Amino acid sequence: MNFSDTIAAIATPYGAGGIGVIRISGPEARNIALRILTPLSQNGFRSHHLYHGTVISPENHQALDDVLFTFFEGPHSFTGEDTLEINCHGGPLILETVLEAALRAGARPAENGEFTRRAYLNNRLDLAQAEAVNDLITARTRQGAVFALERLEGGLSRKINELSGDLLDLLARIEVSIDFSAEDGVEEEAADHLSEINRIINTVDSLAATYRQGKIERTGFRLVIAGRPNAGKSSLLNRLLGEKRAIVASQPGTTRDFIEEATDIGGIPVRLTDTAGLRPPTDEIEKEGIDFLWEKLDQADGVLYLVDGSRKATAEDIDLFGRIYTIPDKPLLLVLNKSDLPALMDEKSLGPAPDAGAFPPVVRISAKYGDGIENLAVAIRRLALNSNSGDTPSAVIAHAHQRASLEKAKESLQRAREGLSGDAGMPPEIVALEIREALDSIGEITGKTSNEEILDHIFSRFCIGK
C-alpha cells in the first residue's frame, strides 16, 4: 500500500439520498480539484471554505453534477494531508460518475480504512483513537456511541500515556541504581520499586477488567430466554422489544423454532432469543426445537430463565433450573412471571443453588401488563456487565488485542517484581529489560510499538470511505 499517492472514495453509505460525499486525500487533491471543478483558478479557493461549483469530466469538460465542495489544506485536515470533499446529489449513479472523474484525474481507489490509517500515520490520531472512529460508526446504542466518542477524544489514550509515564519513571530510577551507587549520592530502594510495580499492576488489572463492558457495548450481549411452555417467554420478548414479534397463545408448544431480535436494554445492545418451551417433546419438530435450544444456551452470553410464578414448582421445574444453573460460565437471571396473579412459586421453591453457591439474581414481573420490566432491564444490564455497580470507568478498552497487550505487560511486570523480591536473584539489568517489555506492550494500544500486521488487521475492518 502506497501512502504517498492520492486516494478517493465515496464516504457515504450506498443508496439514494439527498446528498453523497466524495472524499479525496493526498498531494494531488488540489490539482484534482482544478481538473474536475469549475469555475476555479489556481488561487480561486481557500482552505476550510465551502464553495459552489460544477463537476466536469477531466477529458471533455462535460458537466456531471452541480455540487458544493470544501478543500482542507494539510496538515489541518482529518488525514493530515490536502483533502477535498465534494457534496454531490445522493444518487448511486451520480456518486459513481463523480468518483470515476476523480480517479481519471489522478487519484486511485482508497482501501478499507485508508483515510483513518493516514490520519494515524500523520499523527492526527493514535491507534486507540483510530479504532474508536470505527467503533463510533458501528455503535448499536447511544451508550456505545458515548464510550466510542470518549475513546476518540482521547480518554483511553490519556490513561495509556499515564501508564507509560509511570513505567518510564520507574525504568529511569532502576537504571540510575544500575549506573550509580549510594556512594555517588544515589539511593534507590528495591522496596520502593516493588511498591510502584504493584501499583502499576493494579492499574493494568483495572483497565483490563473493562474489556467485558467495552466488548459488550461494541458487539452486544446474547441473551437466551428459556423456560417451560406457557411461562410467558414470547410475551416477555414482545414486551422487551416494545412490539409484537412472537406469537402468544395459551396452547403449549406454540414456539417450535427460535426468534432472535436486537434491542437496547439499559444502554446495552442485547440480542434476545425466544426459544421453544423446555418439556418432553410431543413430536419430531418440537424435539428439534428443544435440541436446538440447548445449542443456543451453550452459545449465549447469558440466560434468562423464566418461570410461571402463579403455579407451584414441579420436579421438572427444579430439574431444569438445576441443569441451566450448572452450565459452565453462563450468567443466569431467574425471572418469576405473572406477578399479576397470586404467587404460588418463589426462588425457594426451586431449592438451593445446585452447587450450594450464591443464588442467581431474581426478578418478579408481569410480562402481560409490564409490571417489573424496568427492574428487569436493570438486572439484565448488571448481568451483562457482571457488576452491581452503576459506576462508569474513566477509560474502557473494547478490543481483544488491547486486552492481550495489557496481559503481556502484566506478565512482564510480574517477572520484574519477582526479580526485585530477592528470591529470584535477577540482576537489575534484567528487571529493567522486563519493564521495557511492559512499556512496549502498553505502547501497542496507542500504536507506538504496533507492527504492520496488526495495523492491517485493524484497518481492514473499516469501510472503504473511512
- For position 280, which CATH number holds? 3.40.50.300
Same domain? For 182 and 317 the reply is no
Q: Which residues constitute the domain of residue 283? A: 216-385
Q: What is the mean pLDDT of residues 150-161?
A: 94
Residue 390 lies in a domain: no
Same domain? For 62 and 103 the reply is yes
DSSP helix/strand/coil, 270: strand
Residue 2 lies in a domain: no
Residue 33 lies in a domain: yes
Q: Count of domains in the chain? A: 3
Model pLDDT for residues 184-211, shown as the tens digit of each residue: 444 556 677 888 999 999 999 999 999 9
Model pLDDT for residues 258-307, shown as the tens digit of each residue: 788 889 998 889 999 887 666 555 566 656 666 677 778 888 899 999 99
Virtual torsion, Cα 380, 384, 389, 395, nearest 10 deg: -140
Q: Which residues contact 264 (CB under 8 A, 6 or more apart)?
A: 140, 141, 142, 270
Confirm if 365 and 306 have CB atoms less than 8 A apart.
Answer: no
Q: What is the mean pLDDT of residues 84-98?
A: 96
Residue 1 lies in a domain: no
Q: Final residue of a domain: which of 327, 352, 385?
A: 385
Helix, strand, coil percent content, the chain, rounded in steps of 5: 45, 15, 40
What pLDDT sits at residue 278? 67
Q: What is the mean pLDDT of residues 162-189?
A: 74
Tell me the C-alpha distance between 156 and 129, whole Å: 8
For cell 492520492, what's the residue? 6
Closest CA to 2 of 29, 35, 27: 27
Model pLDDT for residues 372-394, shown as the tens digit of each residue: 999 999 999 999 988 665 566 77
Same domain? For 347 and 244 the reply is yes
Q: Final residue of a domain: which of 385, 411, 437?
A: 385
Q: Which residues contact 396 (CB under 8 A, 6 or more apart)?
A: 147, 150, 151, 155, 156, 210, 213, 214, 217
Same domain? For 235 and 334 the reply is yes
| CB hemisphere CA count around 456 (13 angstroms) | 4
Cell representation of residue 194: 516493588
Cell representation of residue 137: 460508526
Could you tell me the pLDDT band of residue 455, with boundaries at 50, 70 and 90?
Answer: confident
Percent of the chain with pLDDT over 70: 85
Same domain? For 196 and 168 the reply is yes
Same domain? For 326 and 292 the reply is yes
Could you tell me the pLDDT band of residue 330, with boundaries at 50, 70 and 90?
Answer: confident
What pLDDT sits at residue 92? 94
Is the backbone of residue 329 left (phi > 0), alpha (psi -120 to 50) or beta?
A: left
Higher per-residue pLDDT: 284 or 69: 69
Same domain? For 95 and 138 the reply is no
